Amino acid sequence: MKISPIKLIDENGRRIDGRLPHEIRKVKIESGVLKNADGSAYIELGNNKIIVAVYGPREVYPKHQALADRALLRCRYSMAPFSVEERKTPSPTRREIELSKVIREALEPAIFLEEYPRTAIDVFIEVLEADGGTRTASITAASVALADAGIPMRDLVTAIAIGKVEGLLVVDLNGLEDQYGEGDMPIAMMPQLGYVTLFQADGRFTAEELKEAFKLANDAIKKIYEEQKQALKRKYLKVAEIGEI
Ligand code: ADP
C-alpha cells in the first residue's frame, strides 16, 4: 500500500469521483459487437473500456491440448499499450498471464464444458482503457460474450471489486482507490445460483468486514447482472427487428 498524496474520501463521505461508498460506476454493456467472432461483448465501467471476443467450440490446435471429457477453455487478457497513462509493453506481462488464469477460473464453473469434449473455447479480452477493476469488468463482459456465442451456461458470471479506503468499505474501486487504498477484494458470482467463482483479497479485512463486503458485492452484482441480461436481450430484439445479426 502506498501513502495517498490526496484525500480519497471528503468531509461529506464522497469519493474522489463523487460517488458514495456503496455506489458503482456508470456501467454500459453491449453484446454482439464483433461480426467475425462467434460471440462478443463490450463493457464500459467508469473509464474502463473492454472488448471481448469468443470463438468456439472449435477444433483444438495444437491437438495434444484437447481434453477427452470436456472443452478446453482458454482465456487471454491483454492490455493495449495505450490503455494506461504510461505506455504498456505490447508483449504479455506476468500480470496479464496471471489475470488470464484468474479470469478463466472464474468463468469455468459456469460453462457446460462437458458438452463439448475435444474442442476449444477461446476468450480474447482486450482492455482498451484501464482504470481499476479490469479483471472484474472483464469477467462480466466475457460471460456475456460466451452467452452471445450460444455456449450453454449454468448462469452468467458477474464480478465487482470491494475495497477499503481510509478505513471505509467501498464498492467498485477506481484506479486511484486501487492504487492508494488499503485493500482490494475482487469477487465474481453466478448471481442466480448464488455461487462464488472468484474471491481474491489483497490487504487486511476483519471477519465483520468480510461479511459486509459480500453483502455489498451481492447488491452491486445484482445491478450489473440486470445490465448483462439487458445487453443480451437488446441484441435479439434488434435481430427480430432487422432480421439479421
Ligand atoms: P484490476 O484492473 O483488476 O484492478 P490490478 O489491481 O492489477 O487489476 O490493476 C489495477 C489498475 O492499475 C488497473 O486497472 C490499471 O488502471 C492500473 N494498471 C495496471 N497495470 C498497469 C500498467 N502497466 N501501467 C499503468 N497502470 C496499470
**CB 133 near ligand 1, within 6 Å:** yes
Q: Domains of the chain (ranges plus CATH)?
A: 27-244 (3.30.230.70)
Within 8 A by CB and 6+ apart from 16, the residues are: 6, 8, 174, 176, 177
Closest among 88, 109, 162, 90 to 132, alpha carbons compared: 162
Percent of the chain clearing pLDDT 90 (strictly above): 93
pTM of the model: 0.96
Mean pLDDT of the chain: 96
Instruction: Assign 3 a pLDDT band (cuts: 50, 70, 90).
Output: confident
Query: Residue 243 pLDDT more than 90?
Result: no
Instruction: Assign 76 a pLDDT band (cuts: 50, 70, 90).
Output: very high
Query: Residue type for 31, please?
Result: S
- CA 132 to ligand 1 center in whole angstroms: 6
The partner residues of 244 in beta bridges, in order of sequence, read none
* β-strands 27-31, 39-45 pairing: antiparallel
| DSSP alpha helix (H) spans, the chain | 94-107, 134-148, 175-180, 207-242
Instruction: Assign 245 a pLDDT band (cuts: 50, 70, 90).
Output: low
Cell of residue 103, nine digits: 479470469
Instruction: Assign 240 a pLDDT band (cuts: 50, 70, 90).
Output: confident
Give the nearest ligand 1 atom to 184 CA. Answer: 6
Give the nearest ligand 1 atom to 135 CA. Answer: 3
Q: Which sign, positive or negative, has the C-alpha torsion 19, 21, 177, 48?
A: negative
State the pLDDT at residue 1. Answer: 59
Q: Ligand 1: which of 96, 103, 126, 178 to mutate, most ligand atoms within 8 Å of CB?
A: 178
- CA 135 to ligand 1 center in whole angstroms: 9
- 203-219 pLDDT, tens per residue? 999 999 999 999 999 99
Query: Residue 32 pLDDT more than 60?
Result: yes
CA dihedral 147, 148, 152, 154 (to 10 degrees): 10
Q: How far apart, in whole angstroms, are the C-alpha atoms of residue 87 and residue 81?
A: 5
- 187-199 pLDDT, tens per residue? 999 999 999 999 9
Q: Averaged over 183-190, what is the pLDDT?
A: 97
- 38-73 pLDDT, tens per residue? 999 999 999 999 999 999 999 999 999 999 999 999
- CA 172 to ligand 1 center in whole angstroms: 14
Q: How far apart, in whole angstroms, are the C-alpha atoms of residue 238 and residue 245?
A: 8
**CB 86 near ligand 1, within 6 Å:** yes
Q: Averaged over 169-196, what is the pLDDT?
A: 97
* Contact (CB, 8 A) for 138 and 77: yes
Closest among 127, 124, 136 to 56, alpha carbons compared: 124
- CA 175 to ligand 1 center in whole angstroms: 7
**CB 130 near ligand 1, within 6 Å:** yes
Q: Ligand 1, atom 13: nearest CA belongs to which residue?
A: 132
- At residue 129's C-alpha, the angle toward residues 160 and 179, to 5°, is 60
State the pLDDT at residue 155. Answer: 98
